[in-house]
């Protein structure tokens, strides 16, 4: 894994967007994996800015979201279908037909998960998957003890996740209890992973994911087994990393041909 520690949350957004833009320039029809939540918002804003000023062309990019709540209508402003439309598809002017979100309203959720897996396969797989991390170490909505082999399926949200996400809803009781999420096996199939985290609330999860044992108790720790995983964090989220100085030194001395 490559660990990049940056002075501020804003710089995480800018550098992550630069890395994604490079992927798209190298492969104009790249398939991106999208995360929702607060962590990637600065990335989407930076990418939207680059598409506005003409320095980035995303017209051939397609995308798959990581997850969707079960039990809220698509038009609910906090459904991930609505969030992706508002924060990504619209601002980047992506073709909506090329942007998919798991169908959390399907009557047969198991079949919906299988269809989603098939759609990702048919698109040729995900070139770069953007990830946030939950305070309990989840990626996607793969809560602790999720199988490392899991594929897109229904999951029950932990109380911790529901209370963390209550800020998006009128009341804590309104936060859905279930979701349809890409599995850890699905995420690990992406050709490249980019996890971003900002703020002190993520420090323990980041340390466990990067330096702890690979364990389903911290689902993000499976990233240690990915060949191309980059973790970009601000100083607050990096605060509990034992080898922080090494990561800072490594990034400062990154060979020019390896720059983002």
Stretch in the footprint of ligand F6R (CB under 6 A) among 19-27, 32-40, 50-58, 242-250:
32-40
Stretch in the footprint of ligand F6R (CB under 6 A) among 33-41, 92-100, 108-116, 185-193:
33-41
The catalytically annotated residue of 87, 103, 127, 138 is 138
DSSP code at position 96: G
Binding mask 49-68 for ligand F6R (x = CB under 6 A): -----------------xx-
Q: Please state, in angstroms and rounded to a whole number, the distance separating the CA atoms of residues 202 and 194.
A: 16
Binding mask 91-130 for ligand F6R (x = CB under 6 A): ----------------------------------------
Closest distance between ligand F6R and the C-beta of residue 165, in Å?
Answer: 7
Structural contact between residues 190 and 33, judged by C-beta atoms closer than 8 angstroms: yes
Q: Does 69 bind ligand F6R (CB under 6 A)?
A: no
36, 62, 100, 186: which one binds ligand F6R (CB under 6 A): 36
Cα-to-chain-centroid distance, residue 14: 16
Stretch in the footprint of ligand F6R (CB under 6 A) among 18-26, 31-39, 107-115, 169-177:
31-39
Strand ranges in 75-227 using DSSP code E only, listed in sequence order: 99-100, 128-131, 153-156, 178-181, 193-197
Cα-to-chain-centroid distance, residue 202: 14
**In this complex, which beta carbon is closest to ligand F6R, that of residue 27 or of residue 85?**
85
Stretch in the footprint of ligand F6R (CB under 6 A) among 103-111, 137-145, 210-218, 230-238:
137-145
Closest distance between ligand F6R and the C-beta of residue 245, in Å?
Answer: 26
Structural contact between residues 216 and 143, judged by C-beta atoms closer than 8 angstroms: no
End-to-end CA distance of the chain: 15
87 has catalytic annotation: no
Q: Please state, in angstroms and rounded to a whole number, the distance separating the CA atoms of residues 165 and 78.
A: 10
138 has catalytic annotation: yes
The catalytically annotated residue of 136, 142, 164, 226 is 136
136 has catalytic annotation: yes
102, 104, 140, 176: which one binds ligand F6R (CB under 6 A): 140
Q: How many helices (H) and strands (E) does the chain have?
A: 9, 10
Structural contact between residues 198 and 134, judged by C-beta atoms closer than 8 angstroms: no
142 has catalytic annotation: no
Which of 26, 9, 7, 8 is closest to 260 using CA atoms? 26
């Amino acid at each position: 894994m490559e660990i990049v520690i940056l002075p501020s949350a804003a710089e995480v957004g800018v550098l992550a967007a630069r890395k994604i833009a490079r992927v798209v320039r190298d492969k104009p029809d790249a398939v991106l994996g999208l995360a929702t939540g607060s962590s990637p918002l600065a990335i989407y804003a930076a990418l939207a800015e680059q598409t506005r000023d003409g320095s980035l062309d995303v017209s051939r990019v397609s995308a798959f979201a990581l997850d969707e709540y079960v039990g809220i209508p698509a038009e609910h402003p906090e459904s991930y279908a609505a969030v992706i439309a508002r924060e990504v598809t619209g601002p980047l002017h992506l073709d909506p037909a090329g942007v998919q979100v798991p169908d959390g309203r399907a009557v047969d959720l198991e079949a919906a998960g299988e269809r989603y897996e098939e759609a990702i396969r048919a698109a040729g797989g995900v070139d770069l998957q953007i990830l946030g991390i939950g305070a309990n170490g989840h990626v996607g909505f793969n809560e602790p003890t999720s199988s490392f082999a899991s594929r897109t399926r229904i999951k029950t949200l932990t109380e911790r996740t529901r209370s963390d996400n209550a800020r998006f809803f009128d009341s804590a009781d309104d936060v859905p209890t279930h979701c349809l999420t890409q599995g850890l096996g699905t995420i690990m199939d992406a050709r490249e992973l980019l996890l971003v985290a900002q703020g002190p609330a993520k420090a323990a999860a980041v340390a466990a994911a990067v330096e702890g044992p690979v364990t389903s108790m911290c689902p993000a720790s499976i990233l240690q087994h990915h060949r191309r995983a980059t973790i970009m964090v601000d100083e607050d989220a990096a605060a509990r990393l034992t080898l922080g100085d090494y990561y800072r030194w490594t990034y400062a001395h990154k060979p020019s041909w390896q720059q983002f």
